Amino acid sequence: MADSCFWEIVAKISIKTTKHIAKIGGSFFIYFYYSTVCDIIVDMTEEIYKEFRRKKAEILTRPETKELSPEEEKEILKEAVFYHIEKSQPITQAQRQTIVQTAQRIKDQPKERQIQLLIDLALNKGVIEAVEVAKSLDSPYLVDELHDTLVDELYNKLVTEGKLEKI
């Protein structure tokens, strides 16, 4: 699986390309779309990282805890992703329809392809929508695999940025 910096690079290149297209008379919608996708990725990462730091600080205030291993930090990151998913707003009826339609489109794909499509969905539409589609497919495996892959992607990004140590 490509590390999460890949997605940011793709988004940034896409934005540069669409800015160029817009300068020569291309569609502003294309530029706006890619700018929004990049903002979603950055905002999601920052929100989850903020929760990670909060949980880590809480654990480090315990007298028996002096420092955390990289494995313990990754577990805290996993909890932060769960928290991000749990605190989301309820799904609207329109979103539910989109989720069901998306689930119908990918249900016959091989499991590995489904995971990739769900990751793409998480990066483009948000983690919550991707998780809801995975749940709609009625496969606990897909939900777990999506969650683990998202945690791995975010973990790799934070390691690359020097915010976490590599395991």
pLDDT at 4: 47
Q: Average pLDDT per run of 10 along the chain, which is 167 residues long?
A: 49 53 49 45 72 90 87 87 76 85 93 89 81 89 86 81 77
Asked if 112 contacts 149 with a C-beta cutoff of 8 angstroms, the reply is no
Rg value, the chain, Cα: 18
pTM: 0.59
Of how many residues is the chain composed?
Answer: 167
pLDDT at 28: 46
Question: CA 123, CA 29: separation in Å to the nearest integer?
Answer: 18
Question: CA 124, CA 132: separation in Å to the nearest integer?
Answer: 14
pLDDT at 58: 92
